[in-house]
A and B are shown apart, each in its own frame.
Chain A
Amino acid sequence: MWLSHHWHAFFLALRRLVGSPLANLLNIIVIGVAFSLPTGVYMLLGNVQSLSGQLSGAPQLNVFLKLDTGKDAIEKLKSHLKQHPQVENFRFLPKDKALEQLKQRNGMATAINSLTRNPLPDAFIIDAKSISPETLKRLRNEMLKWPDSMHVQLDSDWMERLNALLKLGQIALLILTALLSFALIVVTFNTIRLQILTKRNEIEVSKLIGATSNFIRRPFLYFGAIQGVAGGAIAWLIVALVINLINSELINLVRLYAVDFQLHHISFEDSISLLLFSSWLGWVGAWLSVASHLWQIEP
């Protein structure tokens, strides 16, 4: 009996939805478009995050050695680095080679040729395993303490800046989601309000022949939830379409830069969360509307 009540309410809600298809479709589209915005921003943030990981690989540390470092010391450092648990990869850049590289830059050759001796130090270029800023800083401090190191440069500045930017993006996302959730609730609230007004007669008669408040409330709640879910699905579709569109453009762009990058789609878990969240919001909107309007109808 309990189940049959819920089926009844569910089908009644569906019937009401199909009953005025245009108005409800417009509503659903409005909800979908509104919700595609935070969903899109969410996807963008996720993609930027994974892109930044991909582009930088592991961030690099440059260790410049003191000018008078001997060959033995360098060999010792090499074997130390090979065994270091935090080091993914490293390359030794002797000072002669560094000078060669510098010469190849435009306009530098004459300046360098006039030098009497090589002012550049030997250097290690190290790829760390971790990308967390704290670990990197610890690694840097450790390398600074080597007796032969003169200077350690950690090129994680842009990572930090990006992370700060991502954090800002997340705050913006939160605000956007809150605002548009509120909008969804308001839209549903109003839809249900209008519905209650037009169903006034039905509600009154139902009460007169023994309907409980729950029985009357339920179809409206289901309606709100269904509308929310449908809006969520539209949002999903919009975002999926946009991602596909961008990806097909990216293929050309990516070929030029020789990186392998495609925006990833909404994951299964995120899709489910999106639909659950939007249906919950619809339900809340309907609940608020029913709570504030239904009691006014007395037989």
Chain B
Amino acid sequence: MISFSNVYKRYPNGFEALKNIAFTIKQGEMVFITGNSGAGKSTLLKLIGAIERPTTGGIIVNDQNISKLKNSAIPYLRRNLGMVFQGQKILFDRSVFDNVVLPLQICGFEHQSAAGRVRAALDKVGLLDKEKALPITLSGGEQQRLCIARAVVNRPSILIADEPTTYLDPSYTKDIMNMFKSFHQVGVTVLITTPTAALLESPQYRILSLNHGELVT
């Protein structure tokens, strides 16, 4: 479950990126967050991952009050979140496999069981045959799938993705959306941002619209 109540985010330079945000997402829901560039979509996701802290207001993620979370507890919050970042954040100095195994190494998995999970995740995104490849040799869509594999390899209950399809060709877009739907179908809470323009041939899903930092209903 993800729940925001009266959340404000003001950046240190004084810019107010989110104003009075309140919503609740139930476990297992799939939700899209839309809005123009600069509307505050990334900021909202960063608050969920405690990458940014709210200026005021309460945020509950998996029964944890994020706004009051100690810094030392943040890593453990993130281990239960699968995050796909805008701008990918792939490590280009290591293979696809080594990128995806990183969250498991962080959690202290043994090599054997980690390898099994990595292959399962790569299989889900269709990159199993590229596990030894270097990310630089992958196409844009494949790189995005690599990021999704890394986000789901630790089997999080919540998956959040920041504009996972923006710079991709339409054929890739469909693939990747289907991938998120399949995670949603096995009970994962899925949260995806997407710019307004790119909306969507999936009207059955809930949509939260942001406009200049405010939710519009």
Contacts and interface: CB of A to CB of B under 8 A. Distances in A.
B133 interface: no
A8 B83 contact: no
Query: DSSP majority for the B interface?
Result: helix
Contacts of B150: 209
A42 interface: no
Interface in B77-136: 77-79, 83, 85, 89, 91, 93, 102-103, 105-110
B78 A210 contact: yes
A1 B108 contact: yes
Contacts of B51: 208, 299
B91 A211 contact: no
Given A212-B75, A299-B51, A206 B102 contact: yes
B3 to A, nearest CB: 21
Contacts of A211: 75, 106
B106 A4 contact: no
A202 B99 CA distance: 10
Interface in A178-222: 201-202, 204-213, 215
B164 interface: no
Given A201-B91, A202-B91, A208 B83 contact: yes
B89 A208 contact: yes
Contacts of B102: 205-206, 209
Contact of A209 (B78, B93, B109, B110): B78
Contact of A215 (B72, B77, B91, B106): B106
Contacts of A8: 105, 108
B108 A209 contact: no
Contacts of B93: 202
B103 to A, nearest CB: 5
B107 A204 contact: no
Contacts of B105: 8
Nearest to B76: A210
Interface size class of B (residues with CB under 8 A): 20 to 34
A8 B103 CA distance: 13
B108 A210 contact: no
Given A210-B75, A211-B75, A212-B75, A205 B89 contact: yes
Interface residues of A, number: 19
Contacts of A201: 89, 91
Contacts of A2: 108
Nearest to A201: B91
Contacts of B83: 208-209
Given A201-B91, A299-B51, A210 B103 contact: yes
B156 to A, nearest CB: 10
A6 B132 CA distance: 25
Contacts of B49: 208
A299 B91 CA distance: 14
Contacts of A207: 75
Interface string A240-282: 0000000000000000000000000000000000000000000
B98 to A, nearest CB: 11
Contacts of A208: 49, 51, 78, 83, 85, 89
A5 interface: yes
Interface in B55-87: 72, 75-79, 83, 85
Contacts of B107: 210
Interface string A69-110: 000000000000000000000000000000000000000000
Interface of A: 1-2, 4-5, 8, 201-202, 204-213, 215, 299
Given A4-B110, A299-B51, 16 more contacts: A4-B109, A8-B105, A205-B89, A207-B75, A208-B49, A208-B85, A209-B78, A209-B102, A209-B103, A210-B79, A210-B106, A210-B107, A212-B72, A213-B72, A215-B75, A215-B106
